[in-house]
Amino acid sequence: MTKTSIRNGAPLAALIMAVVGIIFDYITPLGVAAGVIHILFVLTAIWFRSPRTAFFFAGIGTVFTLKGYLLISDIQADTWIVQLNRALSVLALWVVALIVYFQKRMANALEQSEARHSAFIDNAIDGMITINNQGIIQKVNPACEKIFGYVAEEMLGQNVNILMPEPYHSEHNGYLQNYRNSGFKKIIGIGRELEGMRKDGSTFPIDLSVSEMSLKSEQLFGGIVRDVTARKEAERSLNRTMEDLKLSNDELEKFAYVASHDLKSPLRGIDNLTKWLAEDLAEVLDDENKDRLEKLQGRVLRMERLLDDLLEYSRAGRNLKKTEKIKADRLIDDVRSLLNVPAEIAITADESLDGILIPRMPLEQIFHNLIGNAVKHHDKEKGIIVVSASESTLFYEFSVQDDGPGIAERFQEKIFEMFQTLKPRDEVEGSGMGLALVKKIVYRFGGRIQVKSKEGKGATFTFTWPKKPKIRSITI
């Protein structure tokens, strides 16, 4: 009989007990403590939802008890005995009512707790299984039905090993027996990763955690099952991607090394030729030509250093430990030495750059492209380019500001794409890769870059650089 059917029949049972009590009290002489019969009426309050019903029924029972005394004239005992019996009957009614009240409150609290617990289990996305110490399934939640493909009735009463493929199927009963004999916990309270088996016989990876509990001296085990098929597939996909990325990085490093070596060979030849010319023509060269040869040698050495830095940068995703303190004037001098900057364009660096600890090579490459871009597109007789920096708790922020022609708003996103230039290729030197490379470097180190500009009023490129950068592998 369900709780609902009991509650539906409770009013009728209470009415019957009330009528029986009244009749019994009426036909029983006053010398007999017949009023206690109304206790049965009060006890029916336990079938009602509200605990206060017990007090209500006790009040009615009290009225019945007192009326029984007043209406019955056949007194076969002393009056004081009758009155005492009636008083004790009333007291008994209220004691029983109090007991029923507190018992009902505890029962309601337990029922609410069980309802919350059942709602939690029934709505959990993980499967929950309860078994006894023989491995027999006692309870499952709806998630188990979905995970294993059984309906609950097909699992209840079965050994839990029906949900396990070999070798777990054969080993499980032995494990339970060993635990009962030795008390040694292999997975209880620890959890493990193994395979489950669906109703159709297919297997899949699961995470299983097991706990032990006792209920009315019965030893039970609770298991939480999670289907990790999607997670395993994601892990395999991630591992494949990481392997492909590692292979690509290795190939890139080899390419950078070969390219660096092949480019250095002609540079060394140029360096040697300039030295021979300087030595052989020392007596006939004037000061201006000697200065030109020295500049040529300096630029060759600078180019060799750049190639070395490019090789190091190709390994940047593997090693971020090599950082340097930036010195503003040296940084600008190094960038200027590789650019053909007209004397009419001034490049200044704010002292705020001094002392910033950062990988020098990628930062220098960014400034080389931004400053070179500003110089290349400058359309006035004179100009100025200002490099500055600021910092917050987590980031450095760098900016390169020029007073050139500016960039129309419709192009301000497009300029960061590969092979994009604002002028025809025959009017401006360059491949259109500079700003795309800048964006790639900045983003790879965890920063962001943007441009603010109005046509005819110059442009300001601003980019952020994390103080603790994390290399990100990207394709632009």
Name 274's bridge partners. Answer: none
| Beta-strand pair 383-391/345-349 | parallel
| Cβ atoms of residues 139 and 127 within 8 Å | no
pLDDT digits (tens, 9 = 90+) for 343-352: 888 888 888 8
Of 185, 207, 227, which marks where a domain is finished? 227
Q: Which domain holds residue 295?
A: 231-315
Domain with 359 in it: what CATH number? 3.30.565.10
Q: Which segments in the chain show pLDDT lower than 70?
A: 1-9, 14, 18, 21-36, 68-83, 183-187, 260, 305-306, 308-322, 418-433, 471-476
Kindly state whether residues 138 and 10 are assigned to the same domain: no
Kindly state whether residues 457 and 337 are assigned to the same domain: yes
What's the structural domain count of the chain?
4
Question: What was the pLDDT predicted at 22?
Answer: 67
Kindly state whether residues 339 and 375 are assigned to the same domain: yes
Kindly state whether residues 242 and 265 are assigned to the same domain: yes
What DSSP assignment string belongs to 237-287? HHHHHHHHHHHHHHHHHHHHHHHHHHHHHHHHHHHHHHHHHHHHTTTT--H
pTM: 0.46
Calpha distance 93→71 (Å, rounded): 20
Kindly state whether residues 83 and 98 are assigned to the same domain: yes
Kindly state whether residues 221 and 89 are assigned to the same domain: no
pLDDT digits (tens, 9 = 90+) for 218-255: 788 888 899 998 888 988 988 888 888 778 777 777 77
In Å, the largest CA–CA distance within the chain is 156
Kindly state whether residues 366 and 307 are assigned to the same domain: no
Kindly state whether residues 333 and 441 are assigned to the same domain: yes
Kindly state whether residues 389 and 361 are assigned to the same domain: yes
Calpha distance 205→165 (Å, rounded): 11
Kindly state whether residues 198 and 236 are assigned to the same domain: no
Question: What was the pLDDT predicted at 314?
Answer: 58
Question: What was the pLDDT predicted at 205?
Answer: 92
